[in-house]
Structure 1
């Protein structure tokens, strides 16, 4: 099991811990063989079917998975002081210097935004 996958996704709230475990297993399978199709990346037919069932589930929304990723990212940010983030846009890059406020875990301060054109 890839440790980074578990750390990134273990807090993802999908309504049932079994769904979160399934998400972790899917990501492990696909990241181990990124060039492979789902059946090729899955170890068994049951895992292949479980992957497709997971993606087709009415109980799982992409926003729920994104939120788990956002929560893990915020957790990582709290361990560092200044953070430089490069954000690509169609025409330019923006440099954002984000400083995490130690007083509030939910507040960020954008201290500098400069477009750089190439």
Structure 2
């Protein structure tokens, strides 16, 4: 399961109002950085075959089958600090992060 904290839910809703043809938020991981996995997030045109759809208050979060074991249980939040705004991820599967914060690792069995 992937959930959106209230601030993230409202942020994604604002994107969907601006782009009503989008199906929801696509969330997953890609190989990147020095630790191995980096988050990938974008507005989705449509669900793809094999996607899991986690609907929350009418907002859909689409996760591909390959990413799901690495992000299952993640809560996505949206924070504002001064002039900076960003999505943050509370992922219980993370076992380590690189020094620059660009990527993360999980247990070998899950990767």
Asked if Structure 1 and Structure 2 have the same fold, meaning a TM-score greater than 0.5 normalized by the shorter chain, the answer is no
Larger relative contact order, structure 1 or 2 (CA cutoff 8 Å, min sep 6): 2
With the length of structure 2 as denominator, give the TM-score of the two structures: 0.22
Q: Larger helix proportion, structure 1 or 2?
A: 1
With the length of structure 1 as denominator, give the TM-score of the two structures: 0.21
